[in-house]
Chains A and B, each alone.
Chain A
Amino acid sequence: MNLKQLETIKQQSQKKFDSYKASLHVCTGTACVANHSFSLIETLKKELKKRDLEKEILIVPTGCNGFCEQGPIMVVQPDGIFYQKLNEKDIGDIIEQHLINGKPVKRLFYKHPTKKTPIEQMKDIPFFGKQQLLAMRHRGQIDPEQINDYIRMGGYQTAYNVLSKKKAEEVIQTVTKSGIRGRGGGGFPTGLKWNSCRDAVKKTGNIPYVICNADEGDPGCFADRSIIEADPHSVIEGLIIGAYAIGAHEGFVYIRKEYPLALKRLQKAIQQARDQNILGKNILETNFDFDITIHRGAGAFVCGESTALMASLEGKPGEPHAKYVHSTEQGYKNMPTVLNNVETWANVPLILQKGSDWFANIGTGDVTDNAWGGSTGTKVFSLVGDVRNTGLVEVPMGITLREIIYDIGGGIPKDKKFKGVQTGGPSGGVLPESKLDLPVDFDSLSDAGSMMGSGGMVVMDEDTCMVQLAKYFIDFLKEESCGKCTPCREGLTAMSEILAKISEGKGTDEDIALLEEYGETMKVASLCGLGQTAANPVLSTITYFRDEYEAHIKDKTCPAGQCKPLVTYIIDPEKCTGCTLCARNCPTNCITGEAKQVHRINQDECIKCGTCKTVCNFDAVEVN
């Protein structure tokens, strides 16, 4: 495969694409697939065939569209009409009314969250408005299972140009100057990483490796999965360029086994690339050899940590080790290794294609002389939790949390109050309303006690108890800690115990200080990133929601009404009509009272399940 052939394929594919009157871009990301988008496609095919439209209308099963909340999603191009929450029985209408008669089906449009007006064009939907697509540049445009679709978008031309025209040093320089920092959590400047690996290779003569970390383990985070599902070739192209820059001939993608669709598409993509001589020996008609092996992770969260990942890749238990000697010097099999995550790799071809200045101009800070000087480019976030528009968003660095949550995310549902947002996965911190105007970049987030992480963003409304929340994440991390080092293993155990005590109203005045002290020890004394950041949910909630902790400890109350031991259900004698409904439904039979008489809850036996409150027709059950 050379540039000419790539160009030919590109033109032929484009010509073929243009030969259709319209194309139906049906999202086949995991969320839409879960909502039956595959059977939607089958129905589409059938219906088009019935009407003999297959030659005129093209169906493109795409990767994640991002607006997962509204799935299944279909975008009709070239008009850009956005259909959402589709059902098989809607297909007929779309074909008849829209495709044949040219009248888009209004009832299937997205409605503005506040104005409730239907929005026809995808570009006019606020969710997409402030997004800027770099890593997800082909979102909704290509079929991830067709290499020619990727080539149609100009894919692999950058890799060809790099391999045949650029020196490795130039590639590294471009990446360094772009200011891109690792999207996997640490935010280490990618160019510097590559450079120190190349130095180690030069010094030792060892053959290095490149690794793509696709072991995305944060609960509620699906950025990497979606990128692979939507555009696997962008990752492959990034790996080719990275391998060339450091002189690697073997690459690995470490991917969670819980990502079957991403795995399937990646396998397919690698095979297609091999078939086209884009992977293998003398790739892209150069004398450079490079191939990629997929390694499936077994689901341990800690294996997302780079040294644990490499240990796992070597067939050893997935436990981290010290990074005093960097992986770029001694990584996989003790050889120099560059490990980046999916999103970083997906950005690489774009940086090489458009240049470092173009990339560095997006985002914040000045990275001209210092790769640590800012946060450039964009970042993909999985926007979830108590927010109207959940989904996958890609935004320029420096955008505020408020813009993401309110403008893109549409705000908090049911008009509840915003309480906090957690960024960076389970070991990220929770930021309060006062931080909503914080620019989202690596340094601002960590200065505020949270982190960028791999792009999780969980929004919480007023009903969230911060003690419960901290305990939830601490318990998650406790389960997922490898248990090797003392501060992480025992510190998380201690924190979980203390938080449980507080949420049961048994906390003492010293507990907050102890949590802070242990949190500090875990931060500075733990072996790997997991332990070092594990205390963030506790420390940040203590910082920003200390009064809530104090309420639990001093007043023995849970302001959010979530900590069961701290709430009591009582029946308001004024409102109770003695209908007996609550008593009949109580699972522990702890409600007493004659018919037509005021009922009473026996607090000793009440398990606080809330059934009485739910069933009461007179709003007579109150929570204290």
Chain B
Amino acid sequence: MTEEQKITVTIDGKEVSVDKDTTILSAANSIDIFIPTLCHSELVEPYSACRLCLVEIDNGRKKRLVTSCNYPIRKPITVKTKSERVKKHRKNILEMMLARWPNVKIIKDMAAFHGIKTPRYTSPLQDPQENACVLCGLCVRACEEDIWESALNFANRGPEREVMMGYGENIPQCEGCETCMSICPTHAIDMDKEDPNNPFDADLMRKAGMKLTREMVLLDDSQCRMRKVGTAHLTEIMDEYDLLPVQNYRFGSHTETKNIASDVFLKNYLTQGKPDGCWQGCTMACAKTADAFTLKTGPYKGDQVVVDGPEYETVGGCANMGIFDPEFVLEFNFYCDTYGLDTISTSTGMSFYMEMFEYGILNKERCGGLDLQFGNSDAALTFMHRMAAGDKDEFIQVASKGIRRVKDWLIKKGWGDKQIIEDCGMESKGLEYSEYVTKESLAQQGGYGMTLKGPQHDEAWLIFMDMVNNQIPTFQDKAEALHYFPMWRTWFGLNGLCKLPWNDVEPENNAETDEPAKVPGHVQNYVDYQNGMTGGNVDKEGLILQSERAYNWQRAMNVWMGRGTRNDDWIPYRSMGPVTKKEYESRKDRYDTQFVEQLGFTKQEVEKMSIEEKIQKLYEYRQNRYQKLMDAVYYRRGWTPNGIPTPQKMKQLGFSDKKMLSMLQKKIDQDQEKGLNSWGGIYGDDEQPPTDKDQYWLEW
């Protein structure tokens, strides 16, 4: 907006320069001039129904009264918000309101402020209730514009006008999101008495909810566009940052990504043009729907079906299989949903099989006649249909159980190099990786590896913090993040809540806070939520403590089951760095630079080395770096160097179960005998492990 397009207006003698079409009300508010309103809220479009925001404008030719909430400034005008004329008519309007609603606080207060004691007539419509509906329409508009449901509307005309749901019945579009209750200035709206949740302090929860609603309405369009396209908006961003998995995580971007970018779905497939939430009250409503999609394969071939709009991970999984066809994405999505398959595990698994096919470790004969080349969408779908049909082919049987079983099967069959198979199959703890390339983010490698349940990104997503913004440069910083974020995200799971409202929209001032990555303003929402629900008095740290207790108990259970050690937090090398020559060569400049900047080689030395040599050197460097990260994380979490929660830590967290504590102690003692209680990383002269103390936990 250039200076020329600014318009200067004078409001109550003060000049202010505003953009064209700014309303008088917001211009006045921007210079701290107060204009009374009843039906106005920044969360909904101006309505100009209450008429209290009347002001007098003078354009040089004539003076007239207009409502400031919706009068767009287009010319330099003089505005008076408190002229005699304005005051007279505003007072009359308030008098009419008071005659109708004599006991509604907001009306009483405003009337008193304007010097009205008793109305000069008795309204036949007088409603003596304190929480009477004042017909401001905020609820109706919030439901329509913010929730996009229109469960409420006005019924009848004139004095009979009232707010109701269709035909005065409870209609299914209302899911009880309470936005209407929250925005209502008079508490006129109530929920059915049978509210089963019976929260301790509903107002506190509503306040948190409205904070989020407000941000979604005002900020989402300029932030994540969750309401418009959902998580799929990430596809193009990931591609841009070289993080979109392409051909089994070998590459991070592709020229054809534009074919499956979010706008393609928005424009051509997402037919309903409105948000679709897991539940209808959700203002984020990131779920999307593609209607009337005609299937091309499988048992429902030719049928028109409704497909849930693809999430980012689904789209990313298709890129991972080298398929950049939006219609495949929808078909794949539909059949995964129909067969009860997870799109992530399915696509990551298929990507691995395709890579093995490329190397000849798998071939048509070995995989039931399937031509599993990267990009072969027909083969990918046929594989799914055969798997779902219970096909007895050996490969399909094994592959249906996931990457870990296929790895074991290939090794047992003696097909291919074991190292290549282990390094390329993107699973850890038997679970397939989700769809992010983690090679350049050590913290995210830890985020995937040092989890309890495998390499999903539910515990920690640190790529931007680490790689793009470089906010956690040291091992200690990364360890702190790998303590805080897994605990914090575990909290959502423990409470059965969605994570997206935490950081897929951020408060306007988030960047100015101490720890923007934690989105402290939104953590407070959850504090309020829990206190409002339970009547407790927990704080931010208290929430983390809740998770820490659950998290450590789960880790102890893992140990009890014979897992939960350093070995179990192993990750495949593909997630750390380039496994193959092709991969190295595709990002050669990057890796060569890292040899100089991080590994201490000279340019000449790097030039002399063969690719194989460089891959090997980088392999050793990055494996060791991961070990060092494990050291730092285990120390921060209060575990032994072998990843065992210490009885000391468990006691600090309030556990007193003797059986559990002695089991852990026994395991630690065994590790001591085997020499496993020492750090895993190899430290250089200028480096130090987290502590030099042997059995450091004994002091806790």
Contacts and interface: CB of A to CB of B under 8 A. Distances in A.
B81 interface: no
A481 B125 CA distance: 15
Given A322-B70, A324-B72, A525-B65, A482 B51 contact: no
Contacts of B160: 483
21 contacts: A319-B154, A322-B48, A322-B70, A480-B157, A480-B158, A482-B158, A483-B154, A483-B157, A483-B161, A485-B48, A485-B50, A487-B89, A489-B159, A490-B123, A493-B125, A514-B120, A521-B89, A521-B92, A524-B65, A524-B85, A525-B93
Contacts of A487: 51, 89, 92-93, 96
A265 interface: no
B407 interface: no
B121 interface: yes
**Best-buried of B49, B99, B123, B156 by chain A (most CB within 10 Å):** B49
B124 interface: yes
Contact of A321 (B48, B124, B161): B48
A324 B65 CA distance: 12
B71 interface: yes
Contact of A494 (B49, B72, B123, B161): B123
B66 interface: yes
A475 to B, nearest CB: 10
A510 B154 CA distance: 35
Given A493-B125, A525-B65, A483 B156 contact: yes
Given A493-B123, A493-B159, A485 B154 contact: no
Interface in B145-159: 153-154, 156-159
Contacts of A484: 49, 137, 154, 161
B158 A492 contact: yes
Contact of A497 (B70, B92, B123, B153): B123
A491 interface: yes
B5 interface: no
Interface residues of A, number: 36
B531 to A, nearest CB: 39
A527 B159 contact: no
A324 B96 CA distance: 25
A300 interface: yes
A494 B50 contact: no
A622 interface: no
B560 to A, nearest CB: 63
B97 interface: yes
A490 B100 contact: yes
Contact of A510 (B70, B89, B120, B153): B120
Contacts of B88: 521
Contact of B92 (A321, A482, A493, A518): A518
A486 B97 contact: yes
A324 to B, nearest CB: 5
Interface string A247-274: 0000000000000000000000000000
A526 interface: yes
Contacts of B65: 524-525
A124 interface: no
Interface size class of B (residues with CB under 8 A): 35 or more
A494 B123 CA distance: 6
Contacts of A482: 157-158, 161
Contacts of B99: 490, 494
B124 A497 contact: yes
Interface string B38-56: 0000000000111110100
A483 B48 contact: no
Contacts of B51: 485-487, 525-527
Contact of A527 (B48, B72, B100, B156): B48
B688 interface: no
Interface in B32-88: 48-52, 54, 64-67, 70-72, 85, 88
B121 A521 contact: no
Contacts of B695: none
Nearest to B122: A497
B97 A489 contact: no
4 nearest A-B pairs in the assembled complex, by CB-CB distance: A483-B161, A490-B96, A481-B158, A521-B92
Contacts of A520: 89
A324 B153 CA distance: 25
Contacts of A170: none
A34 to B, nearest CB: 29
**Best-buried of B99, B120, B153 by chain A (most CB within 10 Å):** B120
Contact of B49 (A481, A517, A527): A527
Contacts of A493: 96, 100, 123-125, 159
B135 interface: yes
Contacts of A490: 93, 96-97, 99-100, 123, 125
B350 to A, nearest CB: 46
Given A325-B72, A518-B92, A485 B122 contact: no
Given A524-B65, A525-B65, A527-B49, A494 B96 contact: yes
B234 to A, nearest CB: 32
A486 B134 CA distance: 10
A118 interface: no
A355 interface: no
Interface string A361-390: 000000000000000000000000000000
Contacts of B49: 484-486, 527
Interface string B90-131: 001100110110000000000000000000111111000000
Contacts of A300: 157
Given A322-B48, A525-B89, A497 B158 contact: no
A520 B51 CA distance: 14
Interface in A469-512: 478-487, 489-494, 497-498, 510
Contacts of B121: 494, 497-498, 514
A81 to B, nearest CB: 49
A317 interface: yes
Nearest to A531: B51
B156 A322 contact: no
Given A325-B72, A484-B161, A487-B96, 13 more contacts: A300-B157, A324-B70, A324-B71, A481-B157, A483-B156, A484-B49, A490-B123, A490-B125, A493-B123, A514-B120, A517-B92, A521-B88, A524-B89
A322 B72 CA distance: 11
Contacts of A492: 158-159
Interface in A304-362: 317, 319, 321-322, 324-325
Contacts of B124: 493, 497
Interface in B255-274: none
Contacts of A494: 96, 99, 121, 123
A220 B476 CA distance: 86
Contacts of B96: 486-487, 490-491, 493-494, 518
Contacts of A524: 64-65, 85, 89
A481 B159 CA distance: 8
Nearest to A513: B120
Interface in A547-562: none
Nearest to A324: B71
A478 B135 CA distance: 16
B93 A479 contact: no
Nearest to A490: B96
A317 B121 CA distance: 31
A80 B159 CA distance: 53
Nearest to A520: B89
A480 B159 CA distance: 9
A156 B135 CA distance: 50
Contacts of B100: 490, 493
Contacts of A481: 157-159
A493 B121 CA distance: 10
B137 to A, nearest CB: 8
Nearest to A524: B65
Contacts of B154: 317, 319, 483-484
A479 B159 CA distance: 7
Nearest to B156: A483
A525 B120 contact: no
